[in-house]
Structure 1
Amino acid sequence: MPVTTTDDTTTAAAPADQGTPTVRNLLDPGFELTLRPMRYPDFYERYRDAIKNTWTVEEVDLHSDVADLARLTPAERHLIGRLVAFFATGDSIVANNLVLTLYKHINSPEARLYLSRQLFEEAVHVQFYLTLLDTYLPDPADRNAAFAAVENIPSIREKAQFCFRWMDSVENLDQLRDRADRRRFLLNLICFAACIEGLFFYGAFAYVYWFRSRGLLHGLATGTNWVFRDETMHMSFAFEVVDTVRKEEPDLFDDDLGAQVTAMLREAVAAELQFARDLCGDGLPGMNTDSMRAYLECVADQRLVRLGLEPVFHSENPFPFMELQGVQELTNFFERRVSAYQTAVEGTVSLDDDF
């Protein structure tokens, strides 16, 4: 059994004749099953916090969006069509990586509790995006094309190929046996957290809140508020896993790994900028490729700083509606849920990674 971190129900020490427990690191091969004594209580608390934030797709009212869609210009309809096509596949990539890689290699029952909860949340997101497609694209042929976006929309295909380049190298590993395996896993996890959930989805959220800032698609924005909070928590958990591994095995984090992560973020910005060119075309009022470039570079620098690396872009956020998103909408989210749910939400909200 591993050594314990003291908590409120710490078990008695093992008898001396049982020997000294083996100290395991988070990425050591194996499948720890025992939650007491608890080694990683912070992961368990994250699981408990996630349970408090349960929401369902049936609570999102998209009826007003149908009228709004009829008011959009052809360029705006193109943007929203591409956006929901990305949503249709993005969370499926995340869910597959959770099951095939993260759950297998993060050797902590507390962390696996959280990952199990995260998988449920990703399923809710997929259902939400399915509902969006059914509502926004009434033509079955259009819906089928959106679900096949990875194959037939170049800008979405490029984002998917980026994910596979950085994440697939550990899918077939049964165990992380050596330093090289663990570094490959870390690159997978950082791509998952910083690039997919922390950049691709944050870019998508900006388009949603741009529509909302103009009084459009409030149903989409409501559901996105809750997805936004889930994704922020997913990213925060993944970064805490990285922090834990860094404390336990600091030799894994050298200049070479830092250079790889920086190159990864640069590639992610380039892929997402290609998507922005597709969505924005020649530009829309308050939304164009140049403003999205600045926004994406600003977010990418935030992710690099969170990982202990130097920022590389030094751009400022051009979207004031994203600056307000974390405080205003998440506050409203909690106010609604205290009266609408059987389990009231308690505690505080951390907004460190917002926009």
Structure 2
Amino acid sequence: MTTPATAPSTTAASTPASTARNLLDPGFELTLRPMRYPEFYDRYRDAIKNTWTVEEVDLHSDVADLAKLSPGERHMIGRLVAFFATGDSIVANNLVLTLYKHINSPEARLYLSRQLFEEAVHVQFYLTLLDTYLPDPDERAAAFAAVENIPSIREKARFCFRWMDSVEKITRLETAAERRRFLLNLICFAACIEGLFFYGAFAYVYWFRSRGLLHGLATGTNWVFRDESMHMDFAFSVVDTVRREEPGLFDDELEREVTAMLREAVEAELQFAHDLCGEGLPGMNTESMRAYLECVADQRLARLGLKPVFGSENPFSFMELQNVQELTNFFERRASAYQVAVEGSVSFDDDF
């Protein structure tokens, strides 16, 4: 495995060799001073500055837009909000059951606590979407039960649960094999679920927005997008730290497993794309989504220091904007730059 040239460096406070601990060493470190991983604390502070609430999202115009959609487009929206309704709950469960338990850094746990709050806000946003977009109680009930009754969503959920189950019974990361299993879980949720499944869903939202439709959905999605990008960056920084502390874990076998994982995730998301797009809609079809997903998957592999495998280019011009804050005047009535005094941007060129 090669080391990613673009991976951000993490500077930990110097600690005497006799007392130094690695990030995945078993235990429950409580002391924030001296701070071993200040980058994680900085990420927590930046996340706090990005607070938003569901009540800020105005969905009134979306109701009128829904009436304008074709049957195929309404089907797409129904499937999309059904996936959203369950996706963030799965991520939150993995945070509580796996990541918080095994990442032995109080600074990182501060960030994970904040991420859990953000996942709860996302779930509330998607709940509000379902209540607004699907007024029929039976349709809403079916959407909430998507992992049981919608095959394309059930397949994605099974993919997630398999990686959660792979570490469920591990209470302490005592061996290299256990740490590798944990890394695969972390990479799955960062690169495949938040970094591919959700980014695929965002593309459908921005396709509607590029046509001047569903402004409220796009506004909320901008803020979710920024949160998810920060979640993914945090997880990759954890991977960077473990790579530096325990380079022996990052061997050819791990590379093969991660690459196979990304390939499987692309195929699962393509089943979802076929469900949403059917025979194709103007400007959106399964083949263009395949190219987009393969392009995103290659970016995730590159960020992990692995060789890209697909070689596809992004076919969606509406996903080529430079960063989330530039969406402010793009069919928006309200600034999407909801953050308060935090520097930096989320680049579509780097992580779209």
- Give the structure-2-normalised TM-score: 0.92
Question: Does the Cα contact within 8 Å between 2:321 and 2:327 map onto a contact in 1?
Answer: no
Q: Given the alignment, which residue of 70, 74, 78 partners 1:73?
A: 70
- Inter-partner Cα distance in structure 2 for 1:50 and 1:330: 20
Structure 1 partner of 2:30: 33
What's the CA shift for 1:325? 6.0
Structure 2 partner of 1:97: 94
Q: Rg: which structure is higher?
A: 1
Equivalence map 1:105-254=2 (5 Å): 105-254=102-251
Task: State the percentage of identical aligned residues.
Answer: 82
Question: Does the Cα contact within 8 Å between 2:26 and 2:172 map onto a contact in 1?
Answer: yes
Question: Does the Cα contact within 8 Å between 1:273 and 1:292 map onto a contact in 2?
Answer: yes
Aligned length: 338
What's the CA shift for 1:172? 1.9
What's the CA shift for 1:329? 3.7
What's the CA shift for 1:326? 2.1
Question: Does the Cα contact within 8 Å between 1:225 and 1:329 map onto a contact in 2?
Answer: no
Relative to 1, partners in 2 of residues 1:160 and 1:20: Cα closer, same or farther, differing over 3 Å?
Answer: closer
- Inter-partner Cα distance in structure 2 for 1:20 and 1:46: 26
- Inter-partner Cα distance in structure 2 for 1:80 and 1:243: 37
Alignment partner of 1:322 is 2:325: no
Relative to 1, partners in 2 of residues 1:325 and 1:213: Cα closer, same or farther, differing over 3 Å?
Answer: farther
Deviation by residue 1:274-313 (Cα, 9 ceiling, x = unmatched): 0000000010000000000000000000000000000000
- Inter-partner Cα distance in structure 1 for 2:279 and 2:335: 39
5+ residue gaps, structure 1, are 7-12, 14-18
Alignment partner of 1:347 is 2:343: yes
3-state SS of the aligned residue for 1:170? coil
Question: Does the Cα contact within 8 Å between 2:328 and 2:336 map onto a contact in 1?
Answer: no
User: Which residue identity does 2:259 align to in structure 1?
Assistant: T
- Inter-partner Cα distance in structure 2 for 1:20 and 1:221: 50
What's the CA shift for 1:197? 0.2
Structure 1 partner of 2:9: none
What's the CA shift for 1:270? 0.1
- Inter-partner Cα distance in structure 2 for 1:44 and 1:346: 14
Question: Does the Cα contact within 8 Å between 1:167 and 1:191 map onto a contact in 2?
Answer: no
What's the CA shift for 1:336? 4.1
Work out which structure has the larger RCO, using CA pairs closer than 8 Å and 6 or more positions apart in sequence: 2
Deviation by residue 1:110-167 (Cα, 9 ceiling, x = unmatched): 0000000000000000000000000000011110000000000000000001111223
What's the CA shift for 1:242? 0.2
User: Which residue identity does 1:72 align to in structure 2?
Assistant: L
- Inter-partner Cα distance in structure 1 for 2:28 and 2:150: 40
Deviation by residue 1:47-89 (Cα, 9 ceiling, x = unmatched): 0000000000000000000000001000000000000000000
Structure 2 partner of 1:60: 57
What's the CA shift for 1:23? 1.2
What's the CA shift for 1:330? 5.7
Relative to 1, partners in 2 of residues 1:167 and 1:41: Cα closer, same or farther, differing over 3 Å?
Answer: same
Structure 2 partner of 1:309: 306
What's the CA shift for 1:21? 4.7
3-state SS of the aligned residue for 2:323? helix
3-state SS of the aligned residue for 1:156? helix
User: Which residue identity does 1:5 align to in structure 2?
Assistant: A
Structure 1 partner of 2:296: 299
Relative to 1, partners in 2 of residues 1:245 and 1:20: Cα closer, same or farther, differing over 3 Å?
Answer: closer
Question: Does the Cα contact within 8 Å between 1:27 and 1:105 map onto a contact in 2?
Answer: yes
Question: Does the Cα contact within 8 Å between 1:149 and 1:157 map onto a contact in 2?
Answer: yes
User: Which residue identity does 1:126 align to in structure 2?
Assistant: V
Structure 1 partner of 2:3: none
- Inter-partner Cα distance in structure 2 for 1:273 and 1:212: 22
3-state SS of the aligned residue for 2:183? helix
What's the CA shift for 1:170? 0.7
Structure 2 partner of 1:82: 79
What's the CA shift for 1:171? 1.7
- Inter-partner Cα distance in structure 1 for 2:291 and 2:59: 31
Question: Does the Cα contact within 8 Å between 1:229 and 1:330 map onto a contact in 2?
Answer: no
- Give the structure-1-normalised TM-score: 0.91
User: Which residue identity does 1:32 align to in structure 2?
Assistant: E
- Inter-partner Cα distance in structure 2 for 1:92 and 1:260: 25
